[in-house]
Amino acid sequence: MDDDVFQTSLQFLKGVGPRRAAVLEKAGLHTFHDLLHFYPRRYLDRSTVVPIRRLDDSGAPVTVVGTVRAAGLVPGKNRKRYELIVEDESGGRLTCVWFQGIGWVSKVFKPGDRVAFHGKPQRYGSRFSMTHPDFDKLDEEGPALATGRIIALYPGGAAFQKAGLTSRTFRRVIYGLFKEHGLKLRDPFPAWLREAYDLIDGRVALRAIHFPKSQGELARARTRLKFEELFYIQLMLALTRQSREEVAGLRFGPPGAFVHRFLHEVLPFELTNAQKEAVRQIVADTQSGLQMNRLVQGDVGSGKTVVAIAAMLHALDNGYQSAFMAPTEILAEQHYANLRKYLDPLGVEVRLLIGGQRKALREEILADLAEGRAHIAVGTHAVIQEGVAFHNLGMAIVDEQHRFGVMQRAELFRKGERPHMLLMTATPIPRSLAMTLYGDLDVTLIKERPAGRKPIQTWLRSEKRRGEVYDFIRRQLREGRQCYVVYPLVEESEKLDLKDAESGYEKLKAEFRPYKVDLIHGRMLPYEKDEAMERFKRGETDILVATTVIEVGVDVPNATVMVIEHAERFGLSQLHQLRGRVGRGGEQSYCILMADYKRSAEAEARLNAMVQTDDGFAISEMDLKLRGAGDFFGTRQSGLPDLKIADITQDQELLMQAREAAFELVRRDPHLRDPAHADIRAHYEAHYAPLRDGFARVG
Ligand code: ADP
Ligand code: MG
């Protein structure tokens, strides 16, 4: 749609001009289209405005509409502030206060202005006040409000205010845009789609989101636009999958001697049913003639590593090499040791690739991989570095895959000719998020833990009961068990971090003499970390004091106590990961959260969640709710597009429908060639296809 008027630059829109266009540009708004999809952040109508006299202490944000009676700078004890006294029809008075941006706010208001303020009222003496409220000047719209029209309020901020881009300006400019070009708008969705999902017309929705006639209409408009937003993301996933399925993948045969001997001769235990199912799925995928892209999601301790080993041996049975990438050196070393233990007897050649290896050794390893003498490479990011080449990589595995960026997974993929990909994560993520982040992958859930595992008991303890906690640890040590004591990472400052752990280490050494206490942290050299880890594994160390370097994957079944210091400072998923370091053998294990009484409500919620459940899925649902999707496991890094109106946590039902619709569309029309789908295709290509590389996975 080259002639699409909605692709016109905003500077050509009446009421905008080059200066404002530059400000809008910075906010990511370039074209008419972008402006139409710049959704209001809030609405004002009579039913949502609270009279000042009726404000209360609930702490909930409210909207108040009043007239400015006085405005000015107030000298304060520490710093000056800017204050407004606002009065409304109820006769109540509210104070609005700014400590920051005083320069520009003081130019915004004058007595007599009618303004809507939005914020959390707090009571000071007999009067309420709001600090740094959102505001919208309404002067010309008082009467309109009185007649009950719903007024859209747009995202604000100093840059917009300075350029005169107030809500009123947005309303006026967008109104003008509709008036001039509204008839040229088209609904990208074909009728079948609208009907199947009971959606209103896209043009109607766009107009209503800016100029709603009723709350009902607004709600329908929001549903339609949320659906659309989620739909295009799902379309991106559906098309990625579709294009992958059009190319042949390596076709493996049935499982052979290596897999058989590993499972039946070498492995000292039987696979759980969930593990068997995972292996069965991997085998089926690799025999299908398509390239596998499977995510194995299993809670900590569910035994994903043996599944990975089986997958690698399956590749070897078919004459292919494998790569196994882990996020930390400790983990890579641990996998390496495990692989050697299980695979040396089978004559499988395994190589370790990590940073800081001697040049001669590294070169030898690289040659073995390039010439096919080595069958499996296990390592850190070192595996995807330049210079690493495989003879024929057929199976690429990423452990703790959420710790890697999309690009890194893609780099691993490019080390072979469309190798099968197996991604593993110990962080079960909520279904809705999985559907967005990994919506084009096949997913295996390992919900079962190996037999004989007892649920970990989790206790929350304050400083006062430290003595008791130590007595408890002593009893466990006396029974031959081992213990971790973990200190948090304080705001990425490794130094501080270290100080905490180091002084803890000294104290514990004195406290638990003659038991052996050891320290491990991120600043140590790789070989020092290894040695400390090895001593702990061999049982020579009783208590391992650690920073969060041991967070992922570390496996020492004899360790039964995990003490987490300053537990209130950790995120929920991180706490759960740490707890997963114990409970890996048959013994009852314990996780003790040491926390201050002074803690935020959110910290309280996290700690309680830990005490209540050790089900990783329940934990991750809670974590998503507490943190919101944007923050969840670096979804930024994953390339998940920003959502403007939909919310993955809130709109799960719509998400499922949008997904179904997108996959159905691609099933009906795999390349979107049907003229009825031309608008969807154009919109997708303009706005989503460019994201795909960064977003969608490999393959
Ligand atoms: P994760 O899924 O967290 O990566 P691991 O693969 O590290 O879990 O396995 C945790 C522990 O459970 C390891 O010590 C492993 O040897 C053991 N394990 C794995 N599968 C089984 C099984 N089927 N029966 C008994 N122990 C098992
Ligand atoms: Mg693991």
Nearest CA, atom 16, ligand 1: 303
Q: Is 200 domain-assigned?
A: no
Q: How confident is the model at residue 296, as a pLDDT?
A: 93
Nearest-ligand number for the alpha carbon of 401? 2
The finding on whether 298 has its CB within 6 A of some atom of ligand 1 is: yes
- CA-based angle 338:342:347, to the nearest 5? 125
Residues 315 and 392 in one domain: yes
Q: Is the CB of 303 under 6 A from ligand 1?
A: yes
Residue whose CA is closest, atom 15 of ligand 1? 303
Same structural domain, 6 and 109 = no
- Stretch 363-367: mean pLDDT, rounded? 97
pLDDT of 94-128, one tens digit each? 999 998 888 888 888 899 998 889 889 999 888 89
Buried b (16+ CB within 10 A) or exposed e, 349-375: bbbbbbeebeeeebeebbebbeeeebb
* Same domain? 158 vs 35: yes
Closest C-alpha to ligand 1, atom 26: 450
Atom of ligand 1 nearest to the CA of 555: 7
Last residue of a domain, one of 147, 175, 202: 147
Q: Which ligand is nearest to the CA of 446?
A: 1
> Is residue 325 domain-shared with residue 424, that is, in the same domain?
yes
Mean pLDDT across the chain, nearest whole number? 88
Query: What pLDDT score does 386 carry?
Result: 92
pLDDT band for position 698 (cuts 50, 70, 90): very low
Ligand nearest to the CA of 303: 1
Give Cα separations from 38 to 210, 293, 523 (angstroms): 9, 36, 46
426 CA → ligand 2 middle, Å: 7
Atom of ligand 1 nearest to the CA of 446: 2
Which atom from ligand 1 is nearest to the alpha carbon of 305?
6
**452 C-alpha vs ligand 1 centroid, how far in Å?**
12
**pLDDT higher for 369 or 452?**
369
Q: How many CB atoms lie within 10 A of CB 472?
A: 18
Residues 368 and 400 in one domain: yes
| Dihedral sign (CA 493, 568, 303, 282) | negative
Q: If DSSP codes are grouped into helix, strand and coil, which group holds residue 522? A: coil
Question: DSSP for 632-665?
Answer: GGGHHHHTPPPPSS--TTT-HHHHHHHHHHHHHH
Inside any domain, residue 452: no
Closest CA to 430 of 699, 656, 600: 656
pTM of the model: 0.75
Mean pLDDT calculated for residue range 624-628: 75
CA of 399 to the centre of ligand 2 (A): 7
306 lines ligand 1 (CB under 6 A): yes
Ligand number with the minimum distance to the CA of 278: 1
| pLDDT of 643 above 90 | no
Mutate to test the pocket of ligand 1, among 270, 306, 614 (most ligand atoms within 8 A of CB): 306
For the domain that residue 124 is a member of, what is the CATH number?
Answer: 2.40.50.140
Domain end call among 613, 638, 658 = 613
**Number of folded domains in the chain?**
4
State in Å: Cα 296 to ligand 2 middle. Answer: 11
With a 6 Å cutoff on the Cβ, whether 584 touches ligand 1 is: yes
| Rounded percentage of the chain residues whose pLDDT exceeds 70 | 92
> Could you tell me if 10 and 52 lie in one domain?
no
Distance CA 288, CA 290 (A): 5
In a domain, 549, yes or no: yes
Confidence of residue 495 (pLDDT cuts 50, 70, 90): low
Residues 140 and 155 in one domain: no
- Asked if residue 300 has its Cβ within 6 Å of ligand 1, the reply is yes
Q: Could you tell me if 157 and 37 lie in one domain?
A: yes
Q: How far is the CA of 302 from the centre of ligand 1 (A)?
A: 6
130, 94 in Cβ contact below 8 A? Answer: yes
CA gap 365, 363 in Å, rounded:
5
Closest residue to atom 18 of ligand 1, CA basis? 303
Q: Poorest-confidence range of 167-171, 295-299, 632-636?
A: 632-636
Report yes or no on 637 lying in a domain.
no
The pLDDT tens digits of the residues spanning 165-214 come to 988 899 999 999 999 999 999 999 999 999 999 999 999 999 999 999 99
Q: Measured from the CA of 338, which atom of ligand 1 is nearest?
A: 16
Residue 97, helix vs strand vs coil = strand
The pLDDT assigned to 47 comes to 74
Ligand 1 neighbourhood includes 304 CB (under 6 angstroms):
yes
Q: Which atom of ligand 1 is nearest to the CA of 308?
A: 6
Q: 660 CB contacts (<8 Å, ≥6 apart)?
A: none
Residue pair 655/229 in contact (Cβ under 8 Å)? The answer is no
Q: 531: domain range?
A: 457-613
Q: Cα of 305 to ligand 2 centre, how many Å? A: 6
Question: Of ligand 1's atoms, which has the minimum distance to the CA of residue 298?
Answer: 2
pLDDT higher than 70, residue 319: yes
Q: What is the pLDDT of residue 640?
A: 61
Q: What is the C-alpha separation between 75 and 78, in angstroms, rounded?
A: 8
Residue 217 has pLDDT above 60, yes or no: yes
Whether 587 and 478 map to the same domain: the answer is yes
Is the model more confident about 139 or about 134?
134
* Domain assignment of residue 646, yes or no: no
- Crossing angle between the packed helical segments 304-317 and 273-287, to the nearest 10 degrees: 30
Ligand 1 mutation target, pool 270, 276, 300, 302, most atoms within 8 A of CB: 302
| Res. 637: pLDDT tops 60 | no
Task: Report whether residue 302 contacts ligand 1, using a CB cutoff of 6 Å.
Answer: yes
Residues 365 and 492 in one domain: no
Ligand 1 proximity of 207 Cβ (cutoff 6 Å): no
| Residue pair 440/696 in contact by the 8 Å Cβ criterion | yes
CA 447 to ligand 1 center in whole angstroms: 13
275 Cα nearest atom in ligand 1: 23
**Same domain, yes or no: 507 and 584:** yes
Of 243-252, 255-264, 590-599, highest mean pLDDT: 255-264
In short, whether 697's Cβ falls inside 6 Å of ligand 1 is no
pLDDT of residue 44: 83
In a domain, 519, yes or no: yes
15 assigned to some structural domain: yes
Percent of the chain with pLDDT over 90: 57
Atom of ligand 1 nearest to the CA of 399: 4
Residues 429 and 491 reside in one and the same domain: no
Q: Binning pLDDT at 50, 70 and 90, where does residue 475 land?
A: very high
Q: How far is the CA of 304 from the centre of ligand 2 (A)?
A: 6
Per-residue pLDDT band at 139 (split at 50, 70, 90): low
User: Could you tell me the CA-to-CA distances from 470 to 29, 467, 548 in Å, in that order?
Assistant: 59, 5, 21
Residue nearest to atom 24 of ligand 1 (CA): 450
Q: Is residue 193 part of a domain?
A: no
Instruction: Please give the residue that has the higher pLDDT: either 4 or 297.
Output: 297
Q: Residue 330 maps to which CATH number?
A: 3.40.50.300
- Over range 433-450, report the average pLDDT: 83
Ligand 1 atom at minimal distance to the Cα of residue 584: 11
Task: Report which ligand 1 atom has the smallest distance to the Cα of 307.
Answer: 6
Q: Which residues contact 26 (CB under 8 A, 6 or more apart)?
A: 159
Residue 18: pLDDT band with limits 50, 70, 90: very high
